[in-house]
Amino acid sequence: MGVTHEIDAPAGGATKGWRREVILAVLLIGFGLLALPFAVYLVGQRVLGEYGEGLGALALAETIWLDLLSFRLAAWILVLSPYLTIQLARGVRRIWRRSV
């Protein structure tokens, strides 16, 4: 007898939501790890001048990656900032929609 209850049925929408969230997190944290240090270097070079004693973008990226391994808060905030920005925007949008 093929009787199923709603409780027993798999929540396909929930699975897709989690999958999409994991993909988004991986992409944005990957961006924070790989592209953002170089973007920071380029902006910093134009605004502040050369990094270190002629050190390049790879040296800044290496410093950030080593700071991640040393659990320095600034490096973690920098790398996680793309994902955290999206989460903040989602939260603000959710609050905005509830209040309207």
At which residue do the structure tokens 């961006």 appear?
31
Please give the pLDDT value at position 10.
56
Task: Look up the pTM and report it.
Answer: 0.74
* Positive or negative: CA dihedral 91, 94, 99, 100: positive
**What's 48's DSSP letter?**
T
Q: At residue 92, does pLDDT exceed 90?
A: yes
**Measured distance CA(58)–CA(65) in Å, rounded:** 10
**Measured distance CA(100)–CA(96) in Å, rounded:** 6
Q: Amino acid identity, residue 28? A: L
Please give the pLDDT value at position 4.
54
Alpha helices in 3-72 (DSSP H): 12-34, 36-47, 57-69
pLDDT digits (tens, 9 = 90+) for 61-79: 999 999 999 999 999 999 9
At which residue do the structure tokens 């209850």 appear?
5
Question: What phi and psi values does residue 56 have, to the nearest 5 degrees?
Answer: -100, -170
